[in-house]
A and B are shown apart, each in its own frame.
Chain A
Amino acid sequence: MKIPFRYRSKHKEVPRKLPNSAMPNAPAPNDLTGALNPVLEVNEQRLKHIFNSSDLRFLTISVPGQSRVLLVYIDGLVDKDPLDQAIMQPLQAEMQPESGGQQNVSLGALLEVRLGAVAEVKRVQKLSDLVEGVLKGNAALLVDGENQAVLAGFQGTEQRTIEEPSAELSVRGPRDGFTEDVRTNTSLIRRRIRSEKLKIESLTLGELTKTDIVIAYMDGIAKESVLEEVRRRLRQIEIDGVLESGYIEEFIEDVPWSPFPQIQNTERPDVVCSSLLEGKVAILVDNTPFVLIAPMTFWSGLQAVEDYYERTIYTTGLRWIRFALMNVSLLLPSLFVALTTYHQQLIPTNLLISIAAAREGVPFPTVIETLLMEFMFEGLREAGIRLPKPIGSAISIVGALVIGQAAVQAGIVSASVVIIVATTGISSFAIPRYNLGTAFRLLRFPMLILAGILGLYGVIAGIFLILIHLLGLRSFGVPYLEPVSPSNFENLKDVWVRAPRWSMYRRPVLSNGGNSRRMSGGRRPGPKRGGGMG
């Protein structure tokens, strides 16, 4: 396995270069440096010292007519059935160098050839490589009398099967989602894009976790500069452990303090594939089903998977609803506060009377009231997420009854504020990407305070601040608001509307490298023209 860029330690805790192949006779027990000893027992003792772990299995097999072989693996990381079939049985039964020309071939070399047919096989001579290999789930075979070991990839951990992604549901579309295993995940992508242009690069990150990271992109479609930037940023990461793709995301995003996500994440292989085809780069991390996609634009946060599977008119309508609700989720509470406390003349008379009637006797100013309710709503949501499922419904009952009804009846909050907060809450669920929705959830509070202090002026000022920030934001060199600003008509076909697939024959411009056409134009369907009825 080629590792293009590996994490280089500043502190040289794990020196890459071994001092010399001539190893000292009595190495320190935990010293990883040095080569393997030809004596099997020495190696076994050293490994036992190094790992000192009960899940490490040693198995000495005597090969008839040959020397002994030591099998080392970590229990649970290795698939035992094929291991048994491919190593144990042949070794005990028939693995004998055939008489004749192969007499001079070592047992190690023989094993490598034999096992090469069923697994990924590597020969190592250094102890550190052996340890690393075992930790990655290889079965190591050490032959007595040889100072090298054979690593056989019989990895097989217990893992989740491919299930429907729980965070991104869709009515129409494939039901498979990524799993925790990065190889399964790459296979899910490969299965969709059967092209040699799909490139998959691997590297390992995390000094202790040694997590596999995979960069996937389409050669010739992905922009070289974006790709290079992704590689550069990944190379700069120096961390002890990578447990989720969020670890990576935080290291490679453009503006860490922005409330807006600059890297998309998804559990769905179809989303990754369509992004790859648009020239984006996917970063897969082992042990998590969440795949990162870069660069991300603001608008991709508002595109749901289903948009591309459902019919275009319907999708366009849904997109408008989503845009409207996005604005509602950001602005409705602050607009309500601004209008009812500063600009009462802008509210239709009858509505104003209703609001005034609902507010009679409410003890708090509208800003405080709205902030309280928003706070409670976010609290309810937060409490509901982590609750065990059987208790989960209790939260909604308590929330709806206690806050919604009792508080209004007791005159602590006004009914109109409850309606506003509920509407806002529903709207924020309509944003397809969870992490973009959280940005709006967060920004709602400063907007509310601005509205409470400065009225509509404050709301406008807040909108401007957000806009200025968004306009300056970039994700891997791509402007965040592209293609609206800077504007590009071709790409607008997938922003406010979702144009029919046959009319979107170009790929997004700013993220692709040269190969800009998806298909040739003029593919609009319809009956044959001019031929009359067939």
Chain B
Amino acid sequence: MNRIRRIVMGLIALPMLSLTAGCWDSAEVNELALELAWGMDAAKDDGVMISAQVILPFRIGSAMGSSGGGGNGSEKPYFVVSGSGKDTLDAVQQMQTKLSRQVYRAHRRIIVIGEELARRGLGHVLDTYSRDPNLKLRTDVFIVRGGTARDFLNVAYPLEDIPGIGALKEYDQIGGLKEMSLLNLMIAATRYGNCAALPVIAIGMGEAAQGEEANGASGQPGFRIAGIGIFNDDLQLQGFIDVRDGRWLRWVKGQLHKAVVTAHIPQEEGEISLDLINLGSKIHPIFEGDKIKIQVRLSGQGMIRENNTSLDLTRMHHIALAKEALDKQVEKSVYQTITKVQEKFGVDAFGFGEVIHRKYPSRWRFLKNDWSREFRKAEISVKADLKIRKIGVTGPPLHLKEQDIKK
């Protein structure tokens, strides 16, 4: 009897348990506004305007499911909603007034920041991104060059249903480490010897000139990776370096996983391109009296993908020739990038200070407070050691006549 009573009590108690819990965090997926991309812009009175690229799942579903008909150009599978306020959560609250579903942040893949807000400084807006348990630190952060985040989120991208994902994949394709930049930003912000550098994205897919300026929406709708934005210690955007310089910078910082290096071979009047993987970088600070010398050693290995010279690459001495030219090219380019940052911005975006801190903690104590000036004065040298592992399927270019090939 007692046992039956206990079982019955248990059966009654179980449903009550679910009622007493009160607040129920259950939410059906079609009651959530999934946002994959998030934008931050400057608003009036030092406020912040946030925008979210909210997915319309049924549009994506129909485009994938039905045969053809699906989404034509005007039916975007997303829409952008904005709100502004004193801080991010205040703005979200304002934004929620326009949304019938609860904003769901956990699937956010990228955060874009308008140039204006970036120049004003990110110090006041970053906290919520690390405090909210729903957000991951492995989110990518981009600066929108010459535009607002909101404009960026409104731009469609031809290859991806969700344009936000497109930015992420573009960055991955040019060798950036995916899903790391929020984390890197946080790490850089807390250290003295390392200034934040964030990838930059620009609206428009038109061919941009070397050292481009923002040229708005030219050509096809879309966007492109446009270099790197350099921040100072207060997380204020100082300026931009272009894609090529940005690549060298990431190589030095160890955040590049693939790259292509093209070198002119002076003896042969032609170019050779090396497709590199396994990139490595080592920074050696050397103290000579008062002077700080910083030696950057770069390594990598790869395959020759283009050879516009008449060299027969099956010959070892030609490989050595190519390697020498490629090494020189890398050394020159990286050196130029570093000196450019030294002169133009004067902030240590490469993390040299960090290395000194680690290797010479006692000296770092004296350098720390004055590191920007010391960085400007530091003498830089770059040493590259690339390994050519493969040359492709032909030695010399196939179209050359036998007597034109240099054996």
Give the chain A neighbours of B134 by CB distance below 8 A. 345
Q: Is A357 an interface position by the 8 A CB rule?
A: yes
Does A355 contact B18, Cβ atoms closer than 8 Å?
A: no
Residues facing A in B53-81 (CB within 8 A) are 55, 57-58, 60-62, 64-65
Does A356 contact B109, Cβ atoms closer than 8 Å?
A: no
Give the contacting residue for A342; candidates B26, B30, B104; CB below 8 A.
B26
Does B18 contact A453, Cβ atoms closer than 8 Å?
A: yes
Most B CB atoms within 10 A — which of A357, A361, A366, A453? A357
Give the chain B neighbours of A341 by CB distance below 8 A. 26-29
B84 → A minimal CB distance (Å): 27
In this complex, how many residues of chain B approach chain A with their Cβ under 8 Å: the count is 24
Main secondary structure on B side of the interface with A: mixed
Does A357 contact B107, Cβ atoms closer than 8 Å?
A: no
Main secondary structure on A side of the interface with B: helix
Does B26 contact A357, Cβ atoms closer than 8 Å?
A: no
- Docked Cα-Cα span, A453 to B64, in Å, equals 33
B147 → A minimal CB distance (Å): 25
Q: Is A354 an interface position by the 8 A CB rule?
A: yes
Does B32 contact A356, Cβ atoms closer than 8 Å?
A: yes
The residue in chain A whose Cβ has the minimal distance to the Cβ of B136 is A345
Does A362 contact B30, Cβ atoms closer than 8 Å?
A: yes
Residues facing A in B229-245 (CB within 8 A) are none
Give the chain A neighbours of B25 by CB distance below 8 A. 342, 455
Give the chain A neighbours of B57 by CB distance below 8 A. 353-354, 356-357, 360
Does A354 contact B61, Cβ atoms closer than 8 Å?
A: yes
Does A340 contact B58, Cβ atoms closer than 8 Å?
A: no
Q: Is B34 an interface position by the 8 A CB rule?
A: yes
The residue in chain B whose Cβ has the minimal distance to the Cβ of A454 is B18
The residue in chain A whose Cβ has the minimal distance to the Cβ of B17 is A453
B166 → A minimal CB distance (Å): 14
Does A344 contact B30, Cβ atoms closer than 8 Å?
A: no
- Docked Cα-Cα span, A454 to B60, in Å, equals 30
Does A344 contact B61, Cβ atoms closer than 8 Å?
A: no
Residues facing A in B6-37 (CB within 8 A) are 17-18, 25-30, 32, 34, 36
Give the chain B neighbours of A349 by CB distance below 8 A. 36, 107, 109
The residue in chain B whose Cβ has the minimal distance to the Cβ of A415 is B65
Does A356 contact B26, Cβ atoms closer than 8 Å?
A: no
- Docked Cα-Cα span, A454 to B20, in Å, equals 12
Q: Is A317 an interface position by the 8 A CB rule?
A: no
- Docked Cα-Cα span, A455 to B26, in Å, equals 8
Does A356 contact B30, Cβ atoms closer than 8 Å?
A: yes
Give the chain A neighbours of B18 by CB distance below 8 A. 453-454
Residues facing B in A322-363 (CB within 8 A) are 340-342, 344-345, 349, 352-362
Does A353 contact B106, Cβ atoms closer than 8 Å?
A: no
Q: Is A365 an interface position by the 8 A CB rule?
A: yes
The residue in chain A whose Cβ has the minimal distance to the Cβ of B165 is A349
Does B61 contact A358, Cβ atoms closer than 8 Å?
A: yes
Give the chain A neighbours of B36 by CB distance below 8 A. 349
Give the chain A neighbours of B30 by CB distance below 8 A. 356, 359-362
The residue in chain B whose Cβ has the minimal distance to the Cβ of A346 is B106
Does A357 contact B28, Cβ atoms closer than 8 Å?
A: no
Give the chain A neighbours of B109 by CB distance below 8 A. 349
B8 → A minimal CB distance (Å): 15
* Residue interface mask A56-87, B partner, CB < 8 A = 1: 00000000000000000000000000000000
Give the chain A neighbours of B58 by CB distance below 8 A. 357, 360
A69 → B minimal CB distance (Å): 62
- Docked Cα-Cα span, A455 to B107, in Å, equals 19
Does A344 contact B26, Cβ atoms closer than 8 Å?
A: no
Does A360 contact B61, Cβ atoms closer than 8 Å?
A: yes
Does B28 contact A353, Cβ atoms closer than 8 Å?
A: no
- Docked Cα-Cα span, A365 to B109, in Å, equals 27
Given contacts A344-B32, A365-B28, contact A352 B61 (CB under 8 A): no
- Docked Cα-Cα span, A224 to B29, in Å, equals 59
The residue in chain A whose Cβ has the minimal distance to the Cβ of B19 is A453
Does B60 contact A353, Cβ atoms closer than 8 Å?
A: yes
B196 → A minimal CB distance (Å): 27
Give the chain A neighbours of B32 by CB distance below 8 A. 344, 356
Q: A353-B61, A365-B26 are in contact. List 8 more A-B contacts (CB 8 A).
A: A344-B107, A349-B107, A353-B60, A356-B30, A357-B60, A360-B57, A366-B29, A455-B26
Chain A residues in the interface with B (C-beta under 8 A): 340-342, 344-345, 349, 352-362, 365-366, 452-455
Can you spell out 12 A-B residue pairs with CB atoms less than 8 angstroms apart? A341-B28, A344-B27, A356-B29, A356-B30, A356-B32, A356-B55, A357-B64, A358-B61, A360-B57, A360-B61, A365-B28, A455-B25
Q: Which 5 A-B pairs have the closest CB atoms?
A: A357-B61, A345-B106, A356-B57, A357-B57, A356-B29
